[in-house]
Amino acid sequence: MTVNKVVYKPDSQQTDEFIVLVHSELYDKWSKGDRTIPLADVVDSFEVFHCATGTQGILGKASNQQLDNVFGTHKDVDVVTQILEKGQHLGGSEHISKSFHGGDKYNQQHHHVGGP
């Protein structure tokens, strides 16, 4: 299954972006109204990433404070839903590579997302 990103930029005048990784085929169906697909199947994980320098930079896991400030909550399901509904799906020619720096899948703090 292809994994791409959905990017939400709360302020078009700034470079801050919040990113969720999604399974493209299921996200496309979900975003067109098929809400019978469980959100857990749509997203690669419920981790929300933050990048202060745009989509080509190093992603760090968004802090609860950042999420509260932008989304009014840090509850993962609520934040992920808002990003999926308000964000832009970057798929197709957009390439994602995840490079993890130490720790297991659930403890990694940084992901590199960008082109080849």
pLDDT at 63: 95
Radius of gyration of the chain (CA): 13
Residue 44's pLDDT is: 94
d(CA 76, CA 47): 7
CATH number of domain containing 48: 3.30.1250.10
Place of tokens 């190093």: 58
Residue 60 burial (CB count, 10 A):
15
Tell me how far the alpha carbon of residue 72 is from its chain's centroid.
17
What are 12-33's pLDDT values in tens digits? Answer: 888 899 999 999 999 999 999 9
pTM of the model: 0.77
- The number of distinct structural domains making up the chain is 1
Contact 55, 90 (CB under 8 A): yes
Residues in the chain, pLDDT under 50: 93-116
Structure confidence at residue 53 (pLDDT): 81
Predicted local distance difference test score (pLDDT) of residue 57: 74
